[in-house]
Amino acid sequence: MAFEELKHRQSVAWGAAPFDRISQQAANIYDHLVAELAPQPGEEWLDIATGTGAVAIRAARAGAKVTASDFSPGMIDAAKRLTAEQRLSIDYAVADAEQLPYPDQSFDVVSSSFGAIFAPDQGAVGRELARVCRPEGRLGLTAWESQGGIADFMRTIQQFQPPPPEGAGNPLDWGREEHAREMLGDDFELRFVHGNDPQLGESPEQLWELFVTSFGPLKTLHDALDESKREELRRAYLDFYAGHEKNGRVEAPREYLIILGTRR
């Protein structure tokens, strides 16, 4: 099933703002994923839907030979800049997680952190993850728990978004162990690690200003609405995080699942 129009819109949206500011908000989760995958010097590592390269850069720092891809040219441009600033070498490419441009069994490690889960054809993603990973190779994905704080937030924002096309996968499904087994269990021996890295902020207003200017999908949604709907979106966002204020600061739960696998 093709979702080319949807993926084109998503590609533009994700590259529409300086995502590296948002990526910094998930640094602990990236560290957790890379630690679980335990990069070894010289091994071939592929990071899919890399965004601005947070996981790829961490793996390269540890000595892995890293290739990374994303479907957003804007994201890849930013990742290349950040990688150059750290004087690292990573082979970046613009590519679709549903149809990767790499030969079979090319990589010792395949990773994706809150990236490949957003591809609409989840079956195709699962097949590609298995195809490019070598026998006994390692897989690591992060996903938001389907009943966690980010899931609640996404459902709050969903009322302002157009409905997805028929047949498009729900990214929150990846946050359920049983779904991950359905997508990957035939090809990988799986295990799961659960974590929680709260979203911290000085106030709901501070988080709104950060995300509406730096998180491409929210910025794109906001810019597409009329003035009254923009205010409704802003109010819904502020109200959500106001419900998670503690001691004068925001501390909202962000439960996540790390899906780890060994290629059969």
pLDDT digits (tens, 9 = 90+) for 57-100: 999 999 999 999 999 999 999 999 999 999 999 999 999 999 99
Using an 8 Å Cβ cutoff, are 187 and 217 in contact? no
The pLDDT of residue 2 is 63
List pLDDT tens digits, range 177-192: 999 999 999 999 999 9
The encoded tokens of residue 209 equal 């200003």
Ranges 2-6, 197-201, 259-263: which has the least confidence: 2-6
Task: Return the bridge partners of 140, or none.
Answer: 111, 260
Q: Measured between alpha carbons, how far is 174 from 240 in angstroms, rounded to an integer?
A: 23
Q: What percent of the chain has pLDDT over 70?
A: 99
pLDDT bracket for residue 1 (50, 70, 90):
very low
Dihedral sign, Cα of residue 143, residue 148, residue 149, residue 155: positive
Using an 8 Å Cβ cutoff, are 130 and 260 in contact? no
**What SS3 class is residue 237?**
helix
Domain architecture of the chain: domains with CATH: 4-145+163-196+255-263 (3.40.50.150)
- pTM summary value: 0.96
At what angle are helices 177-184 and 122-132 packed, to 10 degrees?
A: 60
